[in-house]
A and B are shown apart, each in its own frame.
Chain A
């Protein structure tokens, strides 16, 4: 299964852009990259996902390199409420279905 590598922790000042990197060098051509975040022991919250092209929604932007071996999640204006563990995930094709393969995530701390 494709695995992801992320920095253990990152800091960001409130109001600044937070850029969270992720390596997924073993990703297959038809496997998607997903980003979720988790606050305390709540369920992971969907942020964004993509296959090849860069994606943007109301929460964030996802930049995927041309070779698809890495990606960056961008939170354009981080707030204190964005403090969370951010997971970069590859959704692998397995048996007749799919599965999200979580890594250890990046703890993002946003401070004022």
Chain B
């Protein structure tokens, strides 16, 4: 069974641009969550989606948004990019969106560099 697939693997953008990152969960998984990893802040929660609905959102500005499609694939968008948005963006999927007992599997991430 294929794992969580994130595309693209690397991305270079300039300040002020916007970017869209894609995540395809493991087949049959219906819950997708996103995390940002930077050297200074570590891994931080961005959003969680289940059945095309955002279930909760982390403490990030409105420039960060996301969505989930009916096939469970998810995208996140960052508008008006800032230098501080340079990070590894990770997606994780799980079978269901229960209240804590499921395994979450991460993709390899998209490394975003903002120049």
Contacts and interface: CB of A to CB of B under 8 A. Distances in A.
Interface in A89-104: 91, 93-104
Contacts of B33: 99-100
Chain B interface size band reads: 20 to 34
B45 A99 contact: yes
A94 B99 CA distance: 9
B42 interface: yes
Contacts, number: 72
Interface centre among A87, A99, A105 (most CB of B within 10 A): A99
For the residues of A in contact with B, the DSSP-based class is strand
B56 A94 contact: yes
Interface in B96-112: 97-101, 103-109, 111
Contacts of A99: 33, 45, 48, 56, 58
B56 A41 contact: no
Nearest to A91: B100
B109 A98 contact: no
Contact of A97 (B48, B88, B101, B111): B48
14 contacts: A31-B100, A41-B88, A43-B4, A43-B107, A44-B43, A87-B43, A97-B56, A97-B97, A98-B48, A98-B55, A98-B97, A98-B99, A102-B44, A105-B42
Interface of A: 30-32, 34, 36, 41-46, 49, 51, 87, 91, 93-105
